Amino acid sequence: MKWIDSHAHLDDRAFERDRAAVITRCADAAMGILTIGSSLHSSQAAVSLARRYHDMWATVGVHPHNATSLDGAALKDLKTLAQDKLVVGIGEIGLDYYRDLSPRDRQRSVFARQLDLATELGLPICLHNRESTDDFVAILRDAGAQHRGVVHSFLGDEALAVQFLELGLHLGVGGPLTYPKNETLRAAIKHVPLDRILLETDCPYLTPVPYRGRRNEPIYVSYVAEEIAQLKGLSVDDVAQQTTVNAMRLFELDG
């Protein structure tokens, strides 16, 4: 594998009509994919996709938007699903106080419960945090001083990057790095060691320039790599290679 898109939602409806073609384009580019669950249903779909395609793995978890759906029975089903050998992580899990689609206390308890599940199963975590950093960091600290995982779609400044790195986490970097207004993000990523960065798309969302405004798909992760290479004075190949190694190590992928 030359590339890994560490955060794709290939079960999304946006890929209904041409999913196989999107995945073929990845195979042609020697790209591995982690397809990410966001509800019990989408986690099941992610595992099915990983079974069907080569160089594809799944994570399973309930996104904060869907926090109210994680009752005891769903947690039990999630745990069973998480033990499939193609499941390489728990996520995406976390907090979202920007859209606030679930009550915040419920988001917090569902996040903590899934962190416990990851610890119990020895799986890395795939994290979502939007305008909820204080509670997010507090819950992570409560669950342990060090974590194995990635803060997906990192959008913060350098101080926040340092805070996450100190917790042992990697940073997932995607399309927003290419958006003109995100100078603060670019300044932060410039100083994050390359061995702590994962490439991601979050497709079908967050399409990088020059395709911004259209549906995103995994192969566009190369535009994110180009931006990182430019910031750090490296070649795109260096960025592709190191971020692939990072993802393979973190999620214990066998390429």
Q: Which residues bind Zn ion (CB under 5 A)?
A: 202
Packing angle, helices 221-232 and 183-191, rounded to 10: 70
- Nearer to Zn ion by Cβ, of 63 and 148: the residue is 63
- Nearer to Zn ion by Cβ, of 59 and 243: the residue is 59
- Nearer to Zn ion by Cβ, of 202 and 226: the residue is 202
- Nearer to Zn ion by Cβ, of 22 and 141: the residue is 22
- Nearer to Zn ion by Cβ, of 5 and 202: the residue is 202
Angstrom CA distances, 173 to 117, 163, 177, 222, stand at: 25, 16, 7, 12
CB of 224 to Zn ion, least distance (A): 15
Candidates 88, 85, 96; CA nearest to 131 is 96
The answer to whether the beta carbons of residues 4 and 30 sit under 8 Å apart is no
DSSP sequence for 134-188: HHHHHHHHHH-S---EEETT----HHHHHHHHHTT-EEEE-GGGGSTT-HHHHHH
Side chain identity at residue 184, one-letter code: T
CB of 133 to Zn ion, least distance (A): 17
- Nearer to Zn ion by Cβ, of 96 and 202: the residue is 202
CB of 14 to Zn ion, least distance (A): 13
CB of 36 to Zn ion, least distance (A): 5
Angstrom CA distances, 28 to 1, 9, 23, 120, 247, stand at: 10, 19, 9, 37, 19
CB of 202 to Zn ion, least distance (A): 5
Q: Which residues have a Cβ under 8 Å from the Cβ of 71 and sit 6 or more positions away?
A: none
Helix, strand, coil shares of the chain, percent, nearest 5, are 50, 15, 35
Which residue's beta carbon is nearest to the bound Zn ion? 202
- Nearer to Zn ion by Cβ, of 202 and 227: the residue is 202
CB of 92 to Zn ion, least distance (A): 5
Residue 175 C-alpha from the chain's centroid: 13
Candidates 169, 101, 99; CA nearest to 140 is 169
CB of 7 to Zn ion, least distance (A): 6
The rounded distance, in Å, linking the Cα atoms of 131 and 101 is: 13
- Token representation of residue 169: 């986490």
